[in-house]
Amino acid sequence: MPELPEVETVRRGLQPAMEGARIMKADLRRKDLRFPFQKDFVARLEGQTVTGLGRRAKYLMADLASGDVLLMHLGMSGSFRVRNDDEKTPGKFHFSRNEDRAHDHVVFQMSSGAAIVFNDPRRFGYMKVIARNALDREPLLKGLGPEPLGNEFDAAMLARSCANKKTSLKAALLDQRVVAGLGNIYVCEALFRAHLSPRRLAATLATKAAQRKGVAGGAPTEHARRLVEAIHAVLNQAIRAGGSSLRDHRQTSGELGYFQHSFQVYDREGEKCLTPGCGGIVRRFNQNGRSTFWCLKCQK
């Protein structure tokens, strides 16, 4: 499933074609994706100008002039491509994850002359139109924690969220109520960079005194500070590298960037640890149904 950096990359790729443009036609080529489309889905989109294209966790959010918001989720296999009027110049971004046009399920014809095509072979993605003033009551968004790259997410907030938790540190970071948008890959990477074990108790991010006082009095340990810095670093690096769901048309198979060459621990089972002077080996184990990659020698 695409994680936060991939979704942010998709947002940046779609923004020039969608933001400020009007949705001239919304073409649904099936009745559902993961969920059925709303009966008034097309009517609420056609003729509306996209005033802004944002992101919340792993959701894309297109603000419409009507006061509605088009909520979009890529699911397991969903991706977008931008098709321009002149097929000889396909624009800066396109998707390369699936070329079977039989899975082009939604097409937005924009006044900019671009067609925004959503392709989803497994149909785990979904779209929904929601009134902006109802977003805080929307079940899909309700309860999401802070954005990991937002101003409010810091060591103190993470410590308060984890104080007295009896779960593992990795499980806590994957809990979208603790921090929104983190997935398995970047949690593994951040824990490695912070030299923290995925098995470590989440509560150890708060001082013992803070844990005795309860969540309201939470205070961060040095572990929490290192972890927040690592989360910021790995997400920003991945975003700068351009994600994997929306690609520059001119890239070749040898120019896949971050996802092929820069993981320090994820999917590197049996390889040497990249921490200078460590000498350990990257191991993999199953944790809460997900593969965890780590170095047991330098992650404590």
> Catalytic amino acids?
2-3, 58, 290
How far is the CA of 233 from the CAs of 82, 149, 169, 204, 262, in angstroms?
29, 10, 18, 22, 13
* Dist. CA 90–CA 20, nearest whole Å: 20
Tokens for 141, please give them.
């968004």
Residue 103 has what DSSP assignment? G
* Dist. CA 168–CA 93, nearest whole Å: 39
Q: Which alpha helices (DSSP H) does 55-193 contain, by range?
A: 155-162, 169-174, 184-193
Q: How far is CA 12 from the centre of its chain?
A: 13
Strand-pairing partners, residue 291, are: 286
3-class DSSP state of 8: helix
What are the E-state strand segments in 67-207? 68-73, 79-83, 93-94, 104-110, 115-119, 126-131
Tokens for 104, please give them.
């082009």
Describe the strand order of the beta sheet including 23-28 as a list of residue ranges: 23-28, 104-110, 115-119, 79-83
Residues 6/12/17/23 CA torsion (nearest 10 deg): 70
- Return the HEC string of 172-193: HHHCCCCCCCCCHHHHHHHHHH
